[in-house]
């Protein structure tokens, strides 16, 4: 085990970090939107819509992400002619977009469970109170349900974010050179798996540590009512300032 080799690998692996972060950010953002749609579908009055969303979540959560990635990247390649005629081939021939599609579809299914739980946690009393003031529909969602659900969902959704960072490593198998892709190449070139693992692992731990702190900060910022009350004098000062 050589420290200088670990340091060199660390620098080389760092070049993959922007792609890892980019994939995480894009797939996560799409995943959140889809997760909210799915969660709303699962609360729908219509059994068909509920059933479709349930089936989707069941299938995605019951199969490995790598199978989903292969199905989209290699499997859809079989329909190249059809996709070309639809003008979608530019999208599906790129490992980058296939990876993002698979990651966001996957994350949406897991995320919808979190969102559903958070929506269910909003107490009926608060909804009734809002309705009694005449709020309904979008206003009720915007002012009461969504803010409360967001606070509830945040810690669990923070875990989803970490899982997404880890999941992006799988697109290295379909040729994307993010951190794990570079790590695999370094291992094949140098045959020093332990050192490369330490360097790559350190980068992932660093990313996950920073993201966890950011989520915790957001959580703190969103829940001012849960913080210990400041001393009276401090409160006075802040209200004067």
Partner 1 sequence: MIDLLNLLSFGQEGWGLSLLTAALVTVAVAVCGFLIGTVIGALIAWAKLAGNLPLRIGADAYTTILRGVPDLLVIYLFYFGGSLFTTWLFHLSGSEGFVGVPPFVAGASAIGVIGAAYQAEVFRGAFRALSKGEIEAGMSVGMSRFLLFRRIIAPQVVQYALPGIGNVWQMALKESALISVTGLVELLRQSQIAAGSTRKPFEFYLIAGAIFLVITWLSQQIFAWLDRRASRSLRREVR
> Which residues in this chain contact partner 1 in the complex, by CB under 8 A?
58-59, 61-68, 70-71, 74-79, 162, 165-170, 172-173, 180, 183-184, 187, 191, 193-194, 197, 200-201, 204-205, 208-209
Instruction: Please report the sign of the dihedral spanned by the C-alpha atoms of residue 129, residue 131, residue 134, residue 140.
Output: positive
Q: Nearest approach, Cβ of 68 to partner 1 (angstroms)?
A: 7
In the complex, least distance from residue 59 CB atom to partner 1, rounded to whole angstroms = 6
Least Å from the CB of residue 223 to partner 1: 23
- The DSSP secondary structure of 104-157, one letter per residue, reads HHHHHHHHHHHHHHHHHHS-HHHHHHHHHTT--HHHHIIIIIHHHHHHHHHHHH
Separation of first and last alpha carbons in the chain:
57
- CB atoms inside a 10 Å sphere around CB 22: 14
Any residues with CB less than 8 A from the CB of 47 and at least 6 apart, and which? none
Question: Which residue lies nearer to partner 1 by CB, 116 or 149?
Answer: 116
Helix/strand/coil for 82: helix
The residue among 149 and 169 lying less far from partner 1, judged by its C-beta, is 169
Sign of the C-alpha dihedral computed for residues 113, 156, 19 and 61 taken in this order: negative
Tell me if 112 sits within 8 A of 151, measured CB to CB.
Answer: no
Between 9 and 144, CB nearer to partner 1: 9
Q: How far is the CB of 144 from partner 1 (least distance, A)?
A: 30
Cβ proximity to partner 1, 30 vs 65, nearer residue: 65
CB of 25 to partner 1, least distance (A): 17
CB of residue 63 to partner 1, shortest distance in Å: 4
Q: Say how far apart CA 85 and CA 92 lie, in whole Å.
A: 13
Q: Which is nearer to partner 1, 150 or 211 (CB)?
A: 211
3-state class percentages of the chain: helix first, strand second, coil last, to nearest 5: 85, 0, 15
- The least distance separating partner 1 from the CB of residue 162, rounded to whole angstroms, comes to 7
Nearest-Å Rg of the Cα atoms of the chain is 22
Looking at beta carbons only, is 113 or 219 nearer to partner 1? 113
Smaller CB distance to partner 1: residue 150 or 177? 177
């Amino acid at each position: 085990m050589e420290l200088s080799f670990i340091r060199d690998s660390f620098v080389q692996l760092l070049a993959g970090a922007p792609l890892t972060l980019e994939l995480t950010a894009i797939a996560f953002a799409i995943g959140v939107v889809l997760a909210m749609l799915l969660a709303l579908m699962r609360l729908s009055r219509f059994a068909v819509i509920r059933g479709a969303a349930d089936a989707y979540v069941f299938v995605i959560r019951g199969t490995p992400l790598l199978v989903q990635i292969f199905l989209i990247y290699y499997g859809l390649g079989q329909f190249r002619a059809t996709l070309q005629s639809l003008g979608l081939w530019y999208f599906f021939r790129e490992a980058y977009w296939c990876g993002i599609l698979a990651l966001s579809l996957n994350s949406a299914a897991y995320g919808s469970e979190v969102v559903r739980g958070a929506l269910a946690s909003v107490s009926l009393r608060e909804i009734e109170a809002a309705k009694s003031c005449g709020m309904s529909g979008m206003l009720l969602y915007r002012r009461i349900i969504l803010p409360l659900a967001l606070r509830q969902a945040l810690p669990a959704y923070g875990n989803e974010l970490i899982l997404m960072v880890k999941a992006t490593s799988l697109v290295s198998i379909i040729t994307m050179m993010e951190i794990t892709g570079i790590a695999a190449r370094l291992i094949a070139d140098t045959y020093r798996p332990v050192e490369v693992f330490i360097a790559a692992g350190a980068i992932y731990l660093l990313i996950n540590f920073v993201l966890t702190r950011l989520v915790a900060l957001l959580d703190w910022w969103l829940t001012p009512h849960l913080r210990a009350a400041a001393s009276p004098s401090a409160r006075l000062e802040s209200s004067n300032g």
